[in-house]
Structure formats: C-alpha cells, structure tokens
A and B are shown apart, each in its own frame.
Chain A
Amino acid sequence: MDLWLGIVGLALALYQIRKVERAAIAAKAAVDQSAHQVNTISLLLLVPELALIERELDLAAQSEDNEETRRLVREWLHRAGDLRGLLAVHNPMTAGLLEQVQASISLASVAQRELGKGKLPANGTRRLRESASEIVVLARSESSQIRASIEAPKPLPTLMDDLRGVGRRVQKWKRKVSSHG
C-alpha cells in the first residue's frame, strides 16, 4: 500500500514539474511569437506606405515640383531606413531586398544633395526613382510570401493530454518496479 502511495505521489510530483516546465516554455514561445508578429506586422504595413511615397515621388519629379520632391526624398530616406531595420532582424530570405534598400538609401542621399544644388527634380531623382520602384515590386512579393508563411499558433495541451501523460508515466513506473521486484 505504502509503495503504491509513493508511486502515485511521485507521479503527481513529476506531473507538476512537467506542467511548470511546459508553462515556462509556452510563455517564452508566446513572447517570441509576439515579437515576431509585431515585426511582421510593421513590415507588412510599411510596404504600402513605401509604394505610396514611390508613386508620389514619381509624380512630383515629373511635374518638376522641387519642394515636394525634396520632401518625398526625405520621406523615402526615413521609411527605407525603417524597412532596413526591420529586414535586418526579420528574415534571412529578405537578404537580397535588404541590399537593394541599402542602395536606395545611398541614392536618396545623393539625390537630396543634387536637388539642394539646384538640379531639376526629374533629372536629379531618376536613379533613385528606378531603385524605389524596384524595391516596391520586391517588397510586395516578399510581403506576400511572409503572409503565406505565417503559421497558425499550436493549441496548448488539454487536461486529457495531461492525464494521458500521467497514465503513461505510472505504467512505466509499474513496469520498472515489477521488473526489479
């Protein structure tokens, strides 16, 4: 009788330890998943914003609106910087895009200087606009892939799963005890 009580007590203790361990793992996974989701959502929100800036920049440059073009070049510089930051920590599959974004930041910096020196907007932003257009196409494609790759969270184990686990452990102990006895 004492032996069975001991076995049941040990099984319960093991169950409690396992439960606490699983809760800690689940909590860490939830934090990781939340950080990843915030990053992903920021990335997905940034893509339409970049597309809008790219379109407006094209229109402003073609209509030779110097002031608006300069504002949009600054805006591109900031948003592309945000995108670079997100891509750097987000996903290795976006490495090619990251390099293009870095180039567009440098091109924006040059365009800003040229506009400041009085170069006409259409001519002073030609390479930047080409680069921005390529980035928008690439970023849209990457964001579609990211959307498709987002997995549904795994359900937490139910009470029945826990009880089955306890049952399996008790059986294992019983086998061990009988083989030694």
Chain B
Amino acid sequence: MADVDNEKMVAVVRRLESLTRRKLIRWTTTDQDDTYLFNSEASSVLVGSTNGDGEHPLFVQILSPDGTVTESLETDKHVAEDMFAPNWFQDVFDLHRRARRSATDADAVLDALLEDLGKLEPPF
C-alpha cells in the first residue's frame, strides 16, 4: 500500500492510466530512452523505465511549467519481484505500458498489420 505522501501520486497514476486506456489523452516520445511525456495546461508528466528496458525500476515524474521535477514516484526492482510488492507498482507498470503504446502509435501499426495480413488470406 502506498504511504500517505504517495497517495495523491498514485491517484494521478491511476487517472492517467484510465484516460490513456480510453484514448482520451496522448503521450509523446522524449529524448530519454523508453520515457514518455504527457502535457497538460498546468504541468507535464513523464513515465519511463530507469534503465530504458521497460522493466522495473519505473518512474513517474510531475514537471512544473518551467520543466523542473516537482513530484516523483519510483518503483524498486527487488521489491517488484516480491509477491508482497505494493499495488501501485502494478499501476505504474500499466501506465508505462499504455503510455508507450500511445506514444509509438502501436494500435495504428497493429491495425495496419492486421489489414495487410487479411489481404494474404485466401478468399474462401
């Protein structure tokens, strides 16, 4: 369970994951490997994997309008492997996965691939 300080951050993570899943917000790639940016009017959010490999440790950072990190949340690789890892580790993992799909336009790529594969099917 997240401690009191993390509660708001975890709420933000869950809300972002939900909005991304419903395609109501879009993420973009950044110059940091495997790190994605969502931009709102008041601030920005970064979600990424520290080692750029899509695995824990994963981080979420809230940036102020001038680009400084104001709040952050980071998972721990060893704790993540533990069966008693906090639930929010999974939330951050889900958000990261969704953000990557959004930023790389994975759905459009998959749709195009499915269409191409459909053309290869024999017409019977």
Contacts and interface: CB of A to CB of B under 8 A. Distances in A.
B31 A103 contact: no
Interface in A39-53: none
Size category, A interface: 20 to 34
B75 interface: no
Secondary structure class of chain A's binding surface, majority of residues: helix
Nearest to A131: B28
Given A102-B41, A103-B39, A114 B66 contact: no
Interface string A89-131: 0000000001100110111111101100001000111111000
A128 B37 contact: no
B29 A127 contact: yes
Contact of B31 (A98, A99, A119): A119
Contacts of B28: 103, 127
Contacts, number: 54
A106 B46 contact: yes
A72 B61 CA distance: 24
Given A99-B39, A106-B37, A107-B37, A124 B66 contact: no
B32 interface: yes
Interface string A77-88: 100010010000
B20 interface: no
B48 to A, nearest CB: 9
A114 B44 contact: no
A109 B41 CA distance: 17
B65 A107 contact: no
A105 B40 CA distance: 12
Contacts of A123: 31
A109 B31 contact: no
Nearest to B45: A106
B39 A110 contact: no
Nearest to B69: A109
Nearest to A111: B31
Interface in A153-168: none
Given A99-B39, A99-B41, A110 B65 contact: no
Contacts of A98: 41
A98 B41 CA distance: 8
Contacts of A119: 31
Contacts of B35: 110
**Among the interface residues B31, B32, B41, B46, which one has the most CB atoms of the partner chain A within 10 A?**
B31
Contact of B30 (A84, A99, A105, A127): A127
10 contacts: A77-B67, A84-B65, A98-B41, A99-B41, A102-B39, A105-B66, A106-B30, A107-B31, A114-B32, A123-B31
Interface of A: 77, 81, 84, 98-99, 102-103, 105-111, 113-114, 119, 123-128
Interface of B: 28-32, 35, 37, 39, 41, 44, 46, 63, 65-68
